[in-house]
Structure 1
Amino acid sequence: MRLKNKVIIVTGSTTGIGKAIAKAALTEGAKVVIHGLEEDLGQLATKELGEDNTILHVEDITAAGCAERLVNLAVKTWGKLDALVNNAAWIVSSDIDTTDKEFLEKVLEVNSIAPFLLIKSALPHLSTSKGVVLNIGSVNAWSGEPNLLAYSISKGALMTMTRNLGDVLPRTHGVRVNQINPGWVLTEREMIRKKQHGLSEKWYEEIPAMYAPSGRILWPSEIAAAAIYWLADESGPISGQVVDLEQHPLMGRNAPKDSSTIHGKP
């Protein structure tokens, strides 16, 4: 039980990677605040994960006061807060022609500013527990795909914040901050997105080796397994680190010109 009695907030945890992290944390003995945008998905996730050690909060992560309400819910329910997983994100396509000021600000608000505000709200309690922040980024933070401009910018900002706070907060508050950058993951939403792009029902079984040398893309449970290490005490004093979870090197790979028809990392 690597997370026994630890209280953890996982944003965006009604589906996909977030739900997988919540499930893994519960299996390791944690108590988890489940968070999402849709009430129906939240209820389904809570039923699946079990109600004994979970509590659900449904709200737009960018709503004024949402960060405080999430933190207060955890502390009111279980008396403390040991970890925050910033997983909620808006995955949306855009390029230089379709990205204007208003759109970019909205993407940054969800993917970069909301995680920052949650860290600020959680910090007093994490300082008491000598806790940890785990940000879920994306390999697109390094430069990103042509059709994921705004999203890539926002994940780049999140990665810089992780390194900055990961350096400062251990010294000032005793709180570690690290980040996982998933590659291409087979989430429920990714399956839907690709079918909307015109691909077959089983598109994930026909991915070229260029994108999946192993013959498949990543599963949410594999990202969750890595997350447990960073949330557990076994990661010791390590802070300010960003770990890419992909099955091939990111630098020096040249994708085919028609890569946008199949590729779509989170």
Structure 2
Amino acid sequence: MRLKDKVIIITGSTTGIGKAIAKASLSEGAKVLLHGLEEDLGKLTLEELGCENTLLHVEDITSEGCPDRLVGLAIKTWGKLDAIVNNAALVVSSNIENTDNRFLSKVLEVNSIAPFLLIKSALPYLSTSRGVVLNIGSVNAWSGEPNLLAYSISKGALMTMTRNLGDVLPRTHGVRVNQINPGWVLTEREMIRKQQHGLSENWYEEIPAMYAPSGRILWPAEIAAAAVYWLADESGPISGQVVDLEQHPLMGRNAPKDSSTIHGKF
């Protein structure tokens, strides 16, 4: 087992990508501290994954002291901490016209500042275990869609932090920091989000080739499979890396001439 007896905190792990990473980590022998915002989803996830090597903490990640409580719970329960996965995120539509200071600050607080604070809280224990930080970003970090301004800014900040700490922390604390930037993933909330944009219930069954050359978008389990590599010892000393997980190039790509679909709507 690639993660045997490793203790891992995964934020935002009661649904979507975080839940898939938790499931994959458990199957590889890890002990996982689940975290989420909704107690009902947390209980359902705990029931699905089992209680033998899992624990659940329900709290807003931006609440003062939440990172310390997550780390403290892991240490109290299992006596060590080997990795943290910063997955919790606020995915909201916005543009230059409707993004004000309060809105942008909230998105940054969840998507950029909370991950920083969890790293800082976990660092003494990760240093002892020569552990790992894995940040879950987004391909929108590179520039982002027109209607995802605040979200894209926050993921860009997270990516810069990954590269900065990924260079510094291996030298000062023996801790590696890397990041996965998922592309378009078929999570439960993405299904709902697109329906709210006016698409049908089965919108994901007919995706234009421009966005899904394979005929479908990514599954959470495919992101989780990549996450296991970065959490496992097999990734060796690699640090400060950001890996885009999408099915087409993000830069220098020539969009099909006959495409008129706007990703923000579709």
Tell me which residue corresponds to 1:246.
246
Unaligned 5+ runs, structure 2: none
2:210 alignment counterpart: 210
Q: Which runs of 5+ in 1 are unaligned?
A: none
Matching residue of 2:192? 192
Aligned length: 263
Contact in 1 for aligned 2:12/2:37 (Cα 8 Å) = yes
2: distance between equivalents of 1:170 and 1:261?
Answer: 38
Contact 1:36–1:59 (CA<8 Å) still a contact in 2?
yes
Counterpart residue number, 1:138: 138
CA distance in 1, matches of 2:209, 2:184: 13
Query: 2:164: which partner in 1?
Result: 164
SS at match of 1:259: coil
**SS of alignment partner, residue 32 of structure 1:** strand
Cα deviation, residue 57, structure 1:
0.1
Distance 1:70 1:137 in 2: 21
Alpha-carbon contact 2:145-2:264 (below 8 Å) kept: no
Q: CA–CA distance in 2 between the matches of 1:25 and 1:95?
A: 36
Q: Name the SS of the counterpart of 1:156 in structure 2.
A: helix
In structure 1, how many angstroms separate the alpha carbons of the residues matched to 2:218 and 2:261? 22
Code of the residue aligned with 2:82 in structure 1: it is: D
Identity of aligned residues (%): 84
Distance 2:264 2:180 in 1: 26
Following superposition, the deviation at residue 258 of structure 1 comes to: 4.0
Query: Where does structure 1 differ by over 3 angstroms across 4 or more consecutive aligned residues?
Result: 253-258, 260-263
Deviation at 1:197, TM superposition (A): 1.1
SS at match of 2:85: strand
Q: What is the distance in 1 between the residues matched to 2:198 and 2:53?
A: 40
Q: Find the aligned partners of 2:82 and 2:194 in 1 and give their Cα distance.
A: 36
CA distance in 1, matches of 2:264, 2:94: 14
Mapped pair 1:116 → 2:116 = yes
Q: Structure 1 residue 261: deviation in Å?
A: 5.0
Verify the 8 A CA contact 1:170 1:239 in the aligned structure 2.
yes
Per the alignment, residue 43 of structure 2 pairs with 43
SS of the residue 1:14 aligns to: coil
- Which residue of structure 1 aligns with residue 262 of structure 2? 259
State the TM-score, normalized to the length of structure 2. 0.97
The Cα offsets for residues 37-76 of structure 1, whole Å up to 9 and x where unpaired, read as 0000000000001100000000000000000000000000
Corresponding residue of 1:9: 9
Q: Distance in 1 between matches of 2:165 and 2:260?
A: 38
The Cα RMSD (Å) is 1.0
Determine if contact 1:207/1:262 at 8 Å carries over to the other structure. no
Report SS of the residue matched to 1:117: helix
Larger deviation: 250-259 or 114-123? 250-259
